[in-house]
Every structure is written in structure tokens, then in C-alpha cells.
């Protein structure tokens, strides 16, 4: 359509930039605002502060439609819908930190012609609180819409353009209609509901997916005890339509900016409102323990890890991102160092981010450099390039022969054929090999 509505986007982090680029692709003029002037200057010059496949190209393609400013009035002047995509990091208590969201609310002028469209993940009830604050601040005409974001890092553009569903929670006024209209060209399933339910859809979806991962990780741990292979088990389970094949990959736990934070936030939200959410406690605990099982697998073969050389392949919380937030590699590398091991690591893109968070690790510029002379190799992040490694070359470069596959990336048979010992997650084939 020719008459696309201009929009504002407040916050140029992951969600904000992808939302901005996505709507620009749909033909909207987009007015991006951020308080970080350095970031805005960079964006004006085409510098993208995050690593996300396709994002830089999309922003370059729509340079004429994307406007960057530190001045909120630029967005208010041109757009009536202001998407809020600021951070809501966890506080010490596990509750979401809403200070950035509240600052945006306070900065809004009185208006009958604008609406906040909340993309940031917020606790259930935040929308109602914000509407009350608007009334108290004499800004009762300001509309509010909840429009949670479900994009995955690494496939964020595709997730924006081909969402499984669009969720719009509103009071049934012009603002909700306008948001529905904005997303209409995507032809996605629409769930239009009240604000609280929309807020809950986001938290519940992430908590459910995290539960699925912790569940399959516990099945994997039982597989290790009983001799079943979790990869086969997941395949058999996933073919049941009610279960589905996705998010059944056992590994060394989930990380990232969303799952750990949102599971904890929902647990806190439940607790604060008087309900003890039992299941989520376990989901979190299983995830913590899962990261540490790698240490036990190393010790099983190497004994004490003092002065052992351990190579970590991959550091990012998952492939196709440089995001290190809550990455399993953080716990793993510090645990290994505490046990006296020498840790060397290689990640195709996350090294710069990792250097900010991890101390004492020797960063290498190729996988083979990290592997050279290692007593054991741990596959931490399943970057596609690791699947291409010549396993015989790996074996020859190592001092030892142990490969701990934290993401079940490799075929155990091929690893064995290369003369390596294989320890996957929930794969009995490795145990069988050791008995031979
Ligand atoms: C997630 C949600 O998928 C997304 O809808 C939400 O908007 C934000 O949080 P993201 O954090 O980008 O997205 O990554 P995702 O691909 O979902 O993976 C999260 C973590 O779970 C990763 O650490 C990944 O390694 C792990 N994971 C995922 C598994 O261990 N097993 C699986 O089967 C799937």
C-alpha cells in the first residue's frame, strides 16, 4: 500500500533496530530515538552496534526511510505510534528493571494523538500501571498498546517478516487498530486481546520454551544413566504433533538475553502476586546444573583438571550472534579456571564481547589454534564451521583425545573413527565406546 504510517522507535538495541529495519522494509518511515548519542552518530553513518545477519544490509537499503536522533520530539512530530524497545534487565531480586521504560513514560508530553506500543518485555500489569501514570501526569489521552516481540537472535529479520503470530493487546481504540494495520502486510496470524493477556503471552511463551529445553536436558541426563540416546528419543518424541520437534535439542543449557531473564521474571511475578510457581524453579535449577555437567565429564577422563589444557569451541550463547549474555561459556570458563585448567577459546564473532566478560582465557583466532596441544576440546556453541572440522586433523593437533560435545553437533561414530573419545549430552554411544 502507498500510505504507510510513519512510526517512532525508542531504543536502538536489538529489538528496536530490527523493528525499525523491518518496518522500513514494509515501506514505513521510521524515526529512531536513543539517549546514547554515540550510538546514534554511529547509526547515522551506517554503523550497526550489534551483529545480526542481514541487519546492516537492510538498514543500508532503507537509509532514506530510517531517521536517527537523540531527540524524542523528532519521533513525536512525525509519528503517532511510538514503539518502546528499551532494555528491561533483571535486578538483583530477579524482577525486571523498568527504569528505562519509566523514563520513556515520563518523557511523553500530554497528547490525544500518540500511543506507546510496548515491545520491551515487561511484567504483567505494567501496561495498567503506565496508563495510571499517564492519568496522574495529566496525559490521560496518551494511548497504550502491548505488542510483544518474539524474534530470535540470529534469525531476527526473518522472524520479523515471517512471524508465527502477531500479538496486540489494547483497549480497543484507534491505537490498537493502527498497530494491527501496520502488521497487516505480513499476513500473520493475529491475536488481539487485552493488555495483560498480551503481556503474559510473551512471558509464558519464553518460559514454556525454556521448560522444553530443561525437560529434554533432564531426559538426556537419564539417557546417560540408562544407555538410551537422547537424539533418537527427541526425534521419536518430536514427531508427535502435540510435542513438535523444536526446542528438544539437549545441550549444556540455555542462555541469552531472554530465557534466563524472562523465566526468572515470571517466577518473581508469580511470587509477588502470591503464587509459588514450582515448575519454573526446577527449569532454572536444571539449567544451572546442566552447564556444570561438562566439568564432571572432563574429570571422568582427565582426573583433576589442574594444569590441563582445555579448548572451548564457541563462546556466544548460540550460533549466529556475538551475544554473550548468560552464555554457558561464562560459567564453564570460570569453573574450569577455578579447577586449575588452562582455558583457550575460539569463537567466530563473539571474541570482542567475550573479552569484556571473561578473564584469564587465551583467545585464539582459529579453531585449530585453540585445539593445538589441548588435552580436551569442548564444543560449547554449535557454529556451522565447527561441523566442517576435519576430525583427524583435530585429533592430530591435540595432546589428548577427549571431545566433549556440549551441543550434540558431531556424529559420535565419526568422532570415534577419528580416534577420539566422544562425550555428548545424553548419548550412550559414547559410554559404549569406552567399555570397548
Ligand atoms: C528466545 C526466544 O526464542 C524468542 O522467541 C524470544 O523473543 C527471545 O528469546 P533467543 O534468546 O534469541 O530467542 O534464542 P533461542 O534460539 O530461542 O535460544 C535460546 C537458548 O536456548 C540458546 O542458548 C540455545 O542454545 C538454547 N536452546 C535452544 C537449547 O539448548 N536447545 C534447544 O532445543 C533450543
Specify whether the CB–CB gap between 314 and 380 falls below 8 A: yes
Out of 87-91, 232-236, 404-408, least confident range:
87-91
Please write the tens of the pLDDT for every residue from 143-185: 999 999 999 999 999 999 999 999 999 999 999 999 999 999 9
Specify whether the CB–CB gap between 415 and 405 falls below 8 A: yes
Q: What is the side-by-side order of every strand in the sheet holding 342-346?
A: 362-363, 342-346, 309-313, 376-379, 402-405, 421-423
Mean pLDDT rounded to a whole number for the chain: 95
Alpha helix stretches (DSSP H) within 227-358? 230-238, 259-272, 278-302, 328-338, 351-357
CATH of domain 7-193: 3.40.50.720
What's the average model confidence in pLDDT over 35-39? Answer: 97
Residue 51 or residue 331, greater confidence: 331
- Residue 188 assigned to a binding site: no
Residue 12 or residue 435, greater confidence: 12
pLDDT at 30: 98
Distance from the alpha carbon of residue 399 to the mean position of ligand 1, in angstroms: 34
Judged against a pLDDT cut of 60, whether residue 431 lies above it is answered with no
In this structure, which residue's CA is closest to atom 22 in ligand 1?
Answer: 254
Residue 3 or residue 278, greater confidence: 278
Domains 7-193 and 208-435 share a fold: yes
Residue 147 annotated among the catalytic residues of the structure = no
Judged against a pLDDT cut of 60, whether residue 416 lies above it is answered with yes
What's the average model confidence in pLDDT over 37-41? Answer: 97
- Residue 325 assigned to a binding site: yes
- Residue 55 assigned to a binding site: no
In this structure, which residue's CA is closest to atom 5 in ligand 1?
Answer: 150
Strand partners, 67: 31
Rounded CA-CA distance 326/417 in Å is: 34
pLDDT at 2: 56
Strand partners, 337: none
- Residue 161 assigned to a binding site: no
pLDDT at 95: 84
Percent pLDDT > 70 in the chain is: 97
Cell 486481546 identifies what position? 193
- Reduced to 3 states (helix: H, G, I; strand: E, B; else coil), residue 294 is helix
Rounded CA-CA distance 20/12 in Å is: 8
Please write the tens of the pLDDT for every residue from 65-99: 999 999 999 999 999 999 999 999 988 888 889 99
Please write the tens of the pLDDT for every residue from 388-399: 999 999 999 999
Cell 539449567 identifies what position? 287
What's the average model confidence in pLDDT over 261-280? Answer: 94
Q: What is the side-by-side order of every strand in the sheet holding 189-193?
A: 66-69, 30-33, 7-10, 81-84, 115-118, 143-146, 165-169, 189-193
Q: Confidence band (pLDDT; 50, 70, 90) for 111? A: very high
The atom number, within ligand 1, closest to the CA of 213 reads 31
CATH number, domain 208-435, options 3.40.640.10, 3.90.25.10, 3.40.50.720, 3.40.140.10 = 3.40.50.720
Every domain of the chain and the residues it spans: 7-193, 208-435
The atom number, within ligand 1, closest to the CA of 206 reads 2
Judged against a pLDDT cut of 60, whether residue 204 lies above it is answered with yes
Specify whether the CB–CB gap between 371 and 311 falls below 8 A: yes
Specify whether the CB–CB gap between 101 and 146 falls below 8 A: no
What's the average model confidence in pLDDT over 51-75? Answer: 96
Residues with CB under 6 A from ligand 1: 149-153, 206, 209, 213, 247-249, 251, 254-256, 258-259, 317-318
Residue ranges of E strands in 159-246: 165-169, 189-193
In this structure, which residue's CA is closest to atom 27 in ligand 1?
Answer: 254
Rounded CA-CA distance 238/206 in Å is: 19
**What pTM, to 2 d.p., does this model score?**
0.93
Distance from the alpha carbon of residue 322 to the mean position of ligand 1, in angstroms: 14
Specify whether the CB–CB gap between 327 and 296 falls below 8 A: no
Judged against a pLDDT cut of 90, whether residue 3 lies above it is answered with no
What's the average model confidence in pLDDT over 98-122? Answer: 97
| ipTM, interface predicted TM-score of the complex | 0.95
What's the average model confidence in pLDDT over 390-415? Answer: 98
Q: Confidence band (pLDDT; 50, 70, 90) for 303? A: very high
Residue 96 gets which letter from DSSP?
Answer: B
Judged against a pLDDT cut of 90, whether residue 229 lies above it is answered with yes
The catalytic position among 32, 147, 223, 258 is 258
Please write the tens of the pLDDT for every residue from 13-26: 999 999 999 999 99
Amino acid at each position: 500500500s502507498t500510505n504507510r504510517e510513519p512510526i517512532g522507535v525508542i531504543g536502538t538495541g536489538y529489538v528496536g533496530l530490527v523493528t525499525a529495519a523491518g518496518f522500513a522494509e514494509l515501506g514505513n518511515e521510521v524515526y529512531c530515538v536513543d539517549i546514547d548519542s554515540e550510538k546514534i552518530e554511529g547509526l547515522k553513518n551506517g554503523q550497526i552496534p550489534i551483529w545480526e545477519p542481514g541487519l546492516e544490509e537492510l538498514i543500508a537499503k532503507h537509509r532514506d526511510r530510517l531517521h536517527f536522533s537523540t531527540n524524542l520530539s523528532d519521533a513525536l512530530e512525525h509519528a503517532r505510534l511510538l514503539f518502546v524497545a528499551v532494555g528491561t534487565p533483571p535486578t538483583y531480586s530477579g524482577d525486571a528493571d523498568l527504569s528505562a521504560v519509566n523514563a520513556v513514560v515520563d518523557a511523553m508530553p500530554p497528547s490525544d494523538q500518540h500511543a506507546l506500543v510496548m515491545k520491551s518485555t515487561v511484567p504483567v500489569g505494567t501496561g495498567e500501571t503506565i496508563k495510571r501514570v499517564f492519568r496522574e501526569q495529566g496525559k490521560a489521552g496518551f494511548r497504550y498498546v502491548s505488542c510483544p516481540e518474539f524474534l530470535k537472535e540470529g534469525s531476527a529479520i526473518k522472524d520479523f517478516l515471517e512471524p508465527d503470530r502477531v500479538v496486540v493487546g489494547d483497549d480497543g481504540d484507534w491505537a490498537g487498530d493502527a498497530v494491527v494495520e501496520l502488521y497487516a502486510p505480513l499476513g500473520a496470524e493475529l491475536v488481539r486481546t487485552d493488555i495483560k493477556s498480551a503481556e503474559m503471552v510473551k512471558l509464558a511463551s519464553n518460559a514454556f520454551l525454556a521448560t522444553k529445553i530443561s525437560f529434554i536436558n533432564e531426559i538426556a541426563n537419564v539417557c546417560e544413566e540408562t544407555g538410551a540416546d537422547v537424539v533418537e528419543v527427541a526425534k521419536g518424541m518430536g514427531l508427535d504433533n502435540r510435542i513438535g520437534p523444536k526446542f528438544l535439542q539437549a545441550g549444556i543449557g540455555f542462555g541469552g538475553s531472554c530465557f534466563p531473564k524472562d523465566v526468572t521474571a515470571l517466577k518473581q511475578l508469580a511470587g509477588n502476586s502470591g503464587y509459588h510457581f514450582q515448575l519454573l524453579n526446577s527449569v532454572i535449577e536444571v539449567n544451572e546444573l546442566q552447564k556444570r555437567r561438562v566439568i564432571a565429564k572432563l574429570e571422568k577422563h582427565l582426573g583433576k583438571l589442574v594444569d590441563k589444557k582445555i579448548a572451548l569451541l564457541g563462546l556466544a550463547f548460540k550460533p549466529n550472534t556475538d551475544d554473550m549474555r548468560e552464555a554457558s561459556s561464562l560459567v564453564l570458563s570460570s569453573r574450569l579456571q577455578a579447577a586449575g585448567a588452562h582455558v583457550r577459546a575460539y569463537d567466530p564473532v563473539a571474541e570482542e564481547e567475550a573479552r569484556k566478560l571473561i578473564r584469564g582465557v587465551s583467545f585464539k583466532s582459529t579453531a585449530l589454534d585453540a585445539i593445538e596441544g589441548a588435552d580436551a576440546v569442548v564444543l560449547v556453541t554449535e557454529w556451522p564451521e565447527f561441523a566442517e572440522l576435519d576430525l583427524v586433523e583435530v585429533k592430530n593437533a591435540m595432546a589428548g583425545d577427549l571431545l566433549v560435545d556440549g551441543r550434540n553437533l558431531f556424529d559420535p561414530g565419526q568422532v570415534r573413527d577419528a580416534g577420539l573419545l566422544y562425550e555428548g549430552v545424553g548419548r550412550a554411544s559414547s559410554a559404549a565406546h569406552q567399555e570397548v
